[in-house]
Amino acid sequence: MEQIIKKYVCEYNPCVCLICHSNNDSFSLPFMSSLISSKDFLNNYNIPLHIEVSNNSNENCRNKFKNDLLAKACSIQKITHILYINDNICWNPIDIIKLLLSNKYCVSAVIPDTTYNWDKIYNNPDIINKWKQINETQNLNNNAEEVLQYNILNYNIDYIDNNLNLENSTGKVDFFKMGFTLLKIDMIKKLQLCFPRTKYYDKKLSNHQNNNTFFLFNSGIEKKTYFNENDIFLKRWKNIGGTLWINVSINVTLTNRQYYKGSFYNSITQI
């Protein structure tokens, strides 16, 4: 793995900017711990990690804050990737490397939902023993609590034709929930070119940053269905021929009032 990372860095010279907007007054301790660890970890491989964050509880301006962060990130010299992260996510620093090595325009971890599918157990009480057996036979090394949570959590993902073909833990999907998502700067430039009507200016930003101010994150209604700003962002990418990818080897945890520790890979291993 070490040699693979060094070869990638030598060939592509990655430079990453992490962007995150929070509706709270501060960022959680798990988020900050992941952030600091990632900064140090990537520095060991000479991968610069820039950070652009904002926190404001004004829901009416959320889309604007996200687009401002995107503009700031795009304006950083030699930037190659933008890492979009929700403020309620905690992760392992190696997960950023995994997304980079996927080498896709738009690739994401699979984000767990904040709901449990208890029907899996109600309808088949013996399934827990089956999960435990698979965990042991395939040497997944998960404890009993992890086995249960991984498998009863729902995951925010839509397949293509109900199939998921994986190569090096990466597969193309129809849709996913953004939350730990890596975007190539070339992807953003293509969106800016294809959606010129989203251009705006902000006097609080520098002239250089205003070169990249486009309202690409914008909630709206399509065919009588409401879509949030992240969904519209991905829809725009798909509308110009872009594809969406996931890396199933990445496990992220949602840190709401309780922790939702997800592992999409472990959940599909049980099928």
- As a whole number of angstroms, the distance between CA 49 and CA 222 comes to 36
- As a whole number of angstroms, the distance between CA 225 and CA 220 comes to 8
Segment-wise mean pLDDT, segments of 10 residues, the chain, 271 residues: 93 97 85 94 96 84 94 96 94 96 97 83 81 72 73 85 89 95 98 97 95 95 89 96 96 76 63 45
pLDDT reported for residue 250:
93
Which DSSP helix (H) or strand (E) runs through 81?
strand 81-85
For residue 152, give Cα distances in angstroms to 117, 144, 146, 254, 266: 5, 13, 10, 15, 11
**Shortest CA distance to 158 belongs to which of 198, 202, 212, 113?**
113
pLDDT reported for residue 270:
46
Output the pTM of the full model.
Answer: 0.90
Token pair for 104: 């896709």
DSSP structure class, residue 199: B
